[in-house]
Structure 1
């Protein structure tokens, strides 16, 4: 097999498929057609002389050969990105850490941690990206990121069933809350009873395999009336402020709520706790990874506020 003619495009497509879990999702993330993604993967597998991806009904998973190629592809792509930065006149970082984070972590914990690192460890260069828990777990497995902030809900299972297990540390565990318009009848009290949530209008995230009605209170035995769909948490909160409906939020987002929104706890049903996890692959981490992890832990403690 001869990898001399393998293109960077093929490696980037391969990484995207490994992270996104399906050809369709990878095509959407890259702005390609699905057929273009399929051609790049087929070309790479012909060069390797073996299957790099195991096709399953629920998506794809790296084969043993695929993990080997992904490990080296990640190194090559990182080197290319580093070269591009240096050619652009940016200083070479003393240590580069690739971080993946959930959208909710981007409002508080990640900015606090990056500010601390700029102050205390200016030679550490953090490259970060936003994503969902499933996507970020796959990115860790493929070697394209070093650390990830993931979420977990009861019964708090591991983010994937791959072996060896990811190294996980709980940074926060807090109750899921409800965002209510200031003028809404439910905003008059200090909490909301779960029985009062039936028949409400909801602002939810787009459908996904992980959670079909993200933004609707879990466990309601009725078909929810979703009147607005928004991916961005702050967009959902501003829709709440405009009186357009209710949405669920992690309590960590309380400081980010705009005027016109009350963040309330919900009583009368099972406790809906949410954990924020710091995840990495097993094995001794690099010193820069350790320092970024420490900054994230410090930021999580600093931004932990009493429940509303």
Structure 2
């Protein structure tokens, strides 16, 4: 078997054309280089050098081996450089997952700053529901996931870092009877139809908040995407919760109002694998600023 160290020594001898010169550069004795070259020739099945009165030159077999040795050593050197960059957090690929409303502004702004600070890292982004992102993280398909506990908690034991806690606002049609209020009491929404993403009957942050306010929210249409929810609210078919992160994306024909103190809140986390990449930790630091 041809060993990497032997290939490096072989390449140095070929470059210098001398066992003695290669020995001086590598810090070996001339006899040690001769022994290792002889062992390499036995492993290669025949002579690799023609011994001359002054120095050596490659045989045809030596020329062939050197072409392959140079390619192998170059690939190994590049692999070491890439690994070093990954461990420094300055290279490699960072696979990021984020739920939809985090992609309105929070994640894009963080990735912009991250790209300025770590230009050698290639970022790949996946959007999805928090539960699915955590499954992908657990499966090793993501390096960091931005997730929330809305609507039904955080269904994973992943290592998490709390990024923020935000209010959930209510989106109403512009002509709604409560649209003129600065703050809305959740109890005043007891007769409203709620447009949600969670399956009917599943406990959510909304149902918990409404229970504290003394009523059960009236379920309506189930719509997963925020843009779809806005369309149904605009049509007067119900009201919906809007995270503060997404408030800037609400269409102009709707109004968004904060809910009084008993209103629902959610937490946003960065989830990481047990052994996170340095680049993932760097991004989490930016997200948490």
Question: TM exceeds 0.5?
Answer: yes
Number of residues of Structure 1 aligned to a counterpart in Structure 2: 198
Give matches, 1:151-166, under 5 Å.
Answer: 151-152=148-149, 159-160=155-156, 162=157, 166=158
Once residues 134 and 183 of structure 2 are traced to their aligned partners in structure 1, the CA distance between those partners, rounded to angstroms, is 35
The structure that has the greater radius of gyration is 2
SS of match in other structure, 1:192? coil
Change (3 A) 1:116 1:151: same
Once residues 254 and 108 of structure 1 are traced to their aligned partners in structure 2, the CA distance between those partners, rounded to angstroms, is 10
2:131 match: 134
Q: TM-score, normalised by structure 1?
A: 0.56
Once residues 242 and 209 of structure 2 are traced to their aligned partners in structure 1, the CA distance between those partners, rounded to angstroms, is 10
Once residues 256 and 216 of structure 1 are traced to their aligned partners in structure 2, the CA distance between those partners, rounded to angstroms, is 26
1:112 match: 109
2:215 match: 221
| CA displacement at 1:122 relative to structure 2 | 2.2
Change (3 A) 1:178 1:151: same
Once residues 263 and 223 of structure 2 are traced to their aligned partners in structure 1, the CA distance between those partners, rounded to angstroms, is 25
2:280 match: 289
1:239 match: 232
SS of match in other structure, 1:179? strand
Query: Which region of structure 1 is more displaced relative to structure 2, 206-215 or 112-121?
Result: 206-215
2:174 match: 182
Change (3 A) 1:138 1:209: farther
Q: Is the 8 A contact 1:201 1:224 kept in 2?
A: yes
Once residues 242 and 192 of structure 1 are traced to their aligned partners in structure 2, the CA distance between those partners, rounded to angstroms, is 21
SS of match in other structure, 1:187? coil
Q: Is the 8 A contact 1:206 1:213 kept in 2?
A: no
| CA displacement at 1:115 relative to structure 2 | 2.2
Q: Is the 8 A contact 2:198 2:222 kept in 1?
A: yes
2:147 match: 150
Q: TM-score, normalised by structure 2?
A: 0.59
| CA displacement at 1:282 relative to structure 2 | 2.4
Structure 2 unaligned residues grouped into runs of 5+: 1-89
Once residues 225 and 208 of structure 1 are traced to their aligned partners in structure 2, the CA distance between those partners, rounded to angstroms, is 7
Structure 1 unaligned residues grouped into runs of 5+: 1-92, 299-308
For the aligned residue pairs, the C-alpha RMSD in angstroms reads 3.1
| CA displacement at 1:116 relative to structure 2 | 2.2
Once residues 133 and 181 of structure 2 are traced to their aligned partners in structure 1, the CA distance between those partners, rounded to angstroms, is 38
| CA displacement at 1:107 relative to structure 2 | 1.1
